[in-house]
Every structure is written in structure tokens, then in C-alpha cells.
Structure 1
Amino acid sequence: MIPRLAAPADWEHIDLLSDLHLGPDTPGTLVRLARHLAGTPAQAVLLLGDIFEVWVGDDARHEPFEASVVTTLREASRRKALFFMPGNRDFLVGADLLADAGMAALPDPTVLDAFGRRWLLAHGDAQCLADAGYRAWRATSRSPAWQADFLAKPLADRQAFGRQARAQSRASQAAQLMGMDLDADACRALLREAGATTLIHGHTHRPAEHDLGDGLKRVVLSDWDLDATPPRGDVIRLSATGLQRLPL
């Protein structure tokens, strides 16, 4: 059974965003996130994974950059509902960070009931079935045994692992992003299980809308990089009038 989130009647706008990849080397992206959270009319903001470039455990939330992100989120959570769905970079976010940042956990996938419609939300990596190497890594890294062993290591060791993984990822990212995409059959099956017609996800960094046939479609969120030239990023906003893509 896919978990459900029912939007309260007083929510008029819901913002969806993903793949901010926040880290010390992207300060402009954090500034833009803070500005968006302060200015959006949305009553709820749903973060659909890879909000952090890497997350090695909740004890990292006290590090200088991570603490600034927590402060930004906590301030926003006093004015609106914040939800967090794990991505492939920040699946180790736990209860301590969520509590400090004022966010509620959002399972991957989740059905969102809002504005008289049913939307299916996911990060997207679990549906990239052609990447056998990543699928094997995902199965390993999401296991309780691997996570317990990793989180038992000293923070400095985990941070070193994260830096190494990030460097390896950046070295092959262009090829990965060109080669990976969600499996259409898997998306159709998930939509039918959810009783929804639209899947909204991130992960691939290729914002678009894809017709899956039979009235089904998937909508892809952009990644964010406000430190790039040109800067990029967008938000998908849901309301009673439907779905709107808002470039930053």
C-alpha cells in the first residue's frame, strides 16, 4: 500500500522541489531557497529528495554549513508545513534532523490527495531500472545493517567517505545523467497501483513532461544550481487550477 498525504482544506498552494544538492560550494542555492521559502504563497513545501549534496548522518547537522540549512528550514517551518522525502544523496536523513528542521517525513513514493486530484510523488531513482550498478548499491545502502554499520563510524570518517563519493559522482555525472531515465513500464505500474494519473519526481535533472499513454504522464522537476552560469532551477506548484511550473 502506497502511503498517502491528504492536503488539509485550507491549503491553497503546494510547492514541490527537489535536487537542490546543497553544500558549502553552492551558497547561492541556499540563499535562493531561503528567499523562496520566505516569499512563496504555498501553505506547504514538499522536498522530494537530494536536498543535500551528501548527508552522512544527523550528527552532521551541527557542522557550520549544515546548521545554516537547518536554521533556514526551521524558520520556514514556523510559517508553513515542510515535508522531506529521501533521495539517493540524503537517504540517511533521520528523525533528529527532521525534528530540528521542523520537517515531516514523506515516504518514497507517496500519494498526495489535494484539490480533488490524486498525485503520485517520488524521488525517481528507484524507477531507474536500467542502471544495474546503482540498483545494487541502492539495495545495499538502504539496508538497516549497512546503515547501522556506516553510522557507527566516526563523523570524520563518514565525511571523508562522502567527499570521495561526491568526487566520483561528479567525475561521471554527465554520462550518468545522459544515460539514466525512469522505466516507463515501472512508472505506469506505480501510477495504476496509486490510482493516480500524474507522477511528479526529480532525480534525473531533466525537467520535462512525458506522455506515458492511457492518460498517464510523468512530470520531472528541475535540479537547482543558482551558483551556475546560467543559474537553473524551478518549482512545481499545485493548486485548484492544476499544475504550474515556475522557473526561478
Structure 2
Amino acid sequence: MSRNHWSSSRISLSNTDPIYDSLFISDLHLCEERPQTLALFQQFLDTTARQCRRLYILGDLFEYWVGDDMATVMHRQVASWIHDLTDQGVSVFFMHGNRDFLVGDQFSRLCGWTLLSDPHILRWQGENLLLTHGDQLCIDDVDYMKFRRFSRSRFRISVFLHLPRTFRRWVGKRLRRASMKRNTEIMDVNRDETLKLFGQHHVRWMIHGHTHRPASHEDTVEDMTVTRHVLADWGHSGEVLALGNTGFERIALPAPQKKAPTRRGHHS
């Protein structure tokens, strides 16, 4: 795989914050049919997320996305919650996943977040740290990789977003039904592809989601110990990867004590 395939953007982090510099989450798969996950996300934004300087959402925040112009009341409500967090001084960054890669500038303005390329390089304590959604590492899933190459074409995306809303809504529902079946069939990352990415970008740490296999894995690349942190998917409970002055830690989020909120935000 050529280096251009893994072109990245870069940002530097400060590590002087007394609580958390950065929090990382992915794979919430928010939708109307999962009210407890919606409530959990709102609870997280109102509590834990306010203890950090930066929040990174590494894809699949939503179950599916068929265009910014088709954002529902639920989507706008979520955008309002996120914008409220940015109003509190927390910088929020979003990376596309395989479910929501069509999220665009219009919805991003509602959220107040910054879109990131995949992969994305951070600088931490003099070392590089790489963020990616993770689906590009699952090269053993041949059918998915073919679909990914087909669906990420800028031309095809432009054509799809100009199709009638009724058709796009139908496609979204079809994709959701298919994705529910695939949840138990997601292949893990390919080790060789992962080590190649470590080597290409000379990073010690990698953070990704997609596989729904939360864990931390150590390996060796060119006599250097590297660590890959895999984010958890969310359901009735959730998990956050936190980065602070002492390094990484995982924070468990218990199920919310209240039902999914119905209030509407002011950023709609």
C-alpha cells in the first residue's frame, strides 16, 4: 500500500491540563431505536466530556448517514448537545466512520466540531500518536474493502447526495438492516497492515474503533515497542479512552439513570 493512501493531517497537543487533555470515543451508532445510548451520550457530554480539553469522535457516531439535508430531529438534538460542549470551551473533532462517512460541512457547523482526515497524527510528549477509524485496516474482509473503494469515490458520493430523498432514505434503511447483521461478523484488523501503518508514520501509539473489540495490544516495529488502543462500541453502557499527564486510561460509563431526553436544543 502506498504512503499516499495513508496521507494524514497533524496537530500538536499540550499536556499541561490537570484532568484530561483528550478523550476518545467511537462506534456509538446513535439512532432513534437506541434511546438508552442517546441518553448515555447526553450524560457523557454533560459530565465526563466537560473534564477534558479535546474530545475526539473516531467515526460511526450515527448508525447511518445519507446526507446533511436529511438530518432528523434526533440528529439535530445530538448536534445541539455537542455544540453546547464546544460552548463550554471543549474542542470537538470528528473523523468519518464507515457508517457516517457522508457527514458534511453543513451538519459539522451545527455541531461546532472540526472534521479530521483519516488517519490523523497527534503529537504527544515528543512522540507521534495516530488516530484512525480502523476499517481500512480490515483488509481481510475483501467484500467490505471492495464496497469501501466503490462508495468513497467523490463522484459517486456527489451523485448519491443528489438523488431523491425518498430513495436515499430507503438506501439508509437497507444499509441499517444489513449493518445489524454484520455487527457480529466484523473482521479484526490485519496485523501486517497495522504494523505497516505504524512504520509509515513512525508512531508509538495508535487509537482506532470499528472492530468493537476494546483492548490494548503491544507489538514491535523496527525494535520499537508500539501500542494499539481499540475503542469500545456503546450500547446500554459505554467506555472512553482518556489521555492525561500520566498516559492512557479507560473510563467505564454506567448506564444512565434516566430515560432518553426529549428536549430540543437551541442550535437546530
Same fold (TM over 0.5): yes
- 1:172 and 1:112 mapped to 2: Cα distance? 31
In structure 2, what is the equivalent of residue 243 of structure 1?
248
- 1:171 and 2:181 are equivalent in the alignment: yes
**Secondary structure in 2 aligned to 1:211?**
strand
| 1:116-145 CA-partner distances (Å, limit 9, x unpaired) | 432111100001010110001000110011
- Partner in structure 2 of residue 4 of structure 1: 10
Letter in 1 for 2:8: I
In structure 2, stretches of 5+ residues that fail to align are: 1-6, 254-268
Hey, what's the Cα distance between the residues in 1 that align with 2:125 and 2:73?
39
**1:217 corresponds to which of 227, 236, 249:** 227
Counterpart of 1:127? 137
Q: CA deviation at 1:68?
A: 1.1
Secondary structure at 1:199 match in 2: strand
Aligned residue for 1:119, secondary structure, equals strand
CA RMSD of aligned residues (A): 1.4
Query: 1:90, 1:172 → 2: CA distance?
Result: 16
Q: Percentage identity across aligned positions?
A: 35
Tell me the distance in 2 between the aligned counterparts of 1:74 and 1:173: 30
CA distance in 2, matches of 1:108, 1:173: 22
- Confirm whether residue 68 of structure 1 aligns to residue 72 of structure 2: no
Question: Is 1:94 aligned to 2:100, yes or no?
Answer: no
Q: When the two structures are superposed, what TM-score results if normalisation uses the length of structure 1?
A: 0.92
What is the CA distance between 1:184 and its match in structure 2?
1.1
Structure 2 counterpart of 1:25: 33
Aligned partners of 1:184 and 1:212 also within 8 Å: no
Letter in 1 for 2:200: E
- The residue that corresponds to 2:154 in the other structure is 144
In structure 1, list runs of 5 or more residues that go unmatched: 227-231
Alignment length (residue pairs): 239
Partner amino acid, structure 1, of 2:242: R
In structure 2, the partner of 1:47 is 57
Task: Give the partner amino acid of 1:189.
Answer: K
When structure 1 is superposed on structure 2, of 153-162 and 1-10 the one drifting more is 1-10
